[in-house]
């Protein structure tokens, strides 16, 4: 774990950093609270804040409050407040300001290690809950809410081209009706597995509908990736009641342009998907009609999606 330690005494900072090192944890040391807050905001690896109440220019109470406001709810941050004071009202106020635990100064080694073990357990539990809240249980892809959250962040950050691939399984109701929902689930999981191989943000929007967000990929590259994904889905084989069968998917692509929102980007991809359906299914289309029916991208351009 990585802790930001804040105390006006460098002796105290070194002592606590040494206690952390005994557990294999790392520490960033600060004598002022503003520098610590900047570190917490800018370094997502910081998952523990250990701060004295008697710090400046922000007090320890203010630092607890600002740290809680500065990070997203999905990011674990365990806050331990240190104080040599015995003012119960002040310590209770620290908990109200976002602290998770309290420890007296001078810090006891065994007590600090116990609190850090608690922090580790709570971090694991929080990350597990976040994963459950963001993951589609059938496919392991991002669910609709988490997908849109990441799409909005990609657009807000800017700096790289953002494009979207939206697709669904052709005649999926027929597969469910003829082969049963168990086989239908296998088909959905297989398509999701192919989508997860693309280096992008893959999500299941609902039912048999999926989308992938690409960053740093231009329009031509997006079409080629969509075409490669189309072919890999079409090549998949399944065991049905009457023997092996295959399925296809239809794809729509779109490119973000200045002024587009997340909804706009996906609506344009949906227009392309509708065109793919009306043109006969099992193809890639866009509202702009550019780069259609391109050859697939070489396999070297497709890799297993990195999930953090």
Give the whole-angstrom CA distance, residue 248 versus residue 234.
5
Which one of the listed residues 111, 208, 258, 292 is annotated catalytic? 208
- Residues 179-218 as b/e (b if ≥16 CB within 10 A, e otherwise) read beeebbebbbebbbbbbbbbbbbbbbbeebbbbbbbbebe
Give the whole-angstrom CA distance, residue 196 versus residue 307.
10
Residue 208 catalytic? yes
Torsion angle in degrees (nearest 10) through CA of 228, 238, 185, 281: 50
Give the whole-angstrom CA distance, residue 111 versus residue 92.
19
Instruction: Classify residue 242 by its DSSP letter.
Output: T
- Residue 33 in contact with residue 11, Cβ under 8 Å? no
**Whole-number CA gyration radius for the chain:** 25
Closest CA relative to residue 48, chosen from 31, 62, 27, 65: 27
The residues annotated with a catalytic role in the active site are 208
């Amino acid at each position: 774990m990585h802790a930001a330690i804040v105390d006006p005494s460098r002796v105290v900072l070194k002592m606590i950093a040494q206690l952390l090192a005994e557990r294999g944890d790392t520490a960033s040391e600060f004598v002022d609270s503003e520098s610590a807050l900047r570190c917490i905001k800018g370094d997502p690896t910081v998952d523990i804040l250990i701060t004295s109440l008697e710090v400046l220019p922000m007090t320890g109470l203010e630092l607890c409050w600002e740290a809680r406001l500065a990070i997203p709810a999905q990011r674990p941050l365990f806050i331990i407040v240190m104080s040599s004071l015995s003012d119960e009202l002040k310590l209770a106020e620290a908990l109200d300001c976002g602290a998770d635990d309290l420890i007296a100064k001078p810090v006891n080694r065994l007590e600090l290690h116990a609190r850090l073990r608690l922090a580790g357990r709570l971090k694991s539990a929080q990350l597990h809950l976040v994963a459950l809240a963001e993951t589609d249980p059938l496919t392991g892809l991002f669910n609709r809410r988490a997908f849109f959250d990441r799409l909005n962040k990609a657009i807000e950050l800017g700096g790289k081209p953002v494009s979207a691939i939206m697709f669904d399984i052709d005649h999926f109701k027929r597969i469910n009706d003829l082969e049963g929902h168990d086989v239908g689930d296998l088909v959905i999981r297989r398509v999701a597995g192919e989508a997860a191989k693309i280096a992008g943000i893959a999500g299941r929007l609902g039912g048999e509908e999926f989308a992938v967000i690409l960053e740093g990929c231009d329009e031509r590259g997006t079409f080629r990736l969509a075409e490669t994904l189309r072919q890999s889905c079409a090549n998949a084989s399944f065991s049905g009641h009457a023997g092996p069968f295959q399925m296809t998917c239809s794809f729509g692509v779109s490119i973000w342009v200045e002024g587009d929102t997340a909804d706009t980007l996906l609506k344009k991809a949906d227009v392309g998907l509708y065109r793919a359906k009306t043109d006969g299914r099992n193809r890639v289309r866009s509202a702009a009609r550019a780069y259609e029916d391109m050859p697939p991208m070489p396999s070297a351009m497709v890799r297993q999606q990195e999930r953090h």
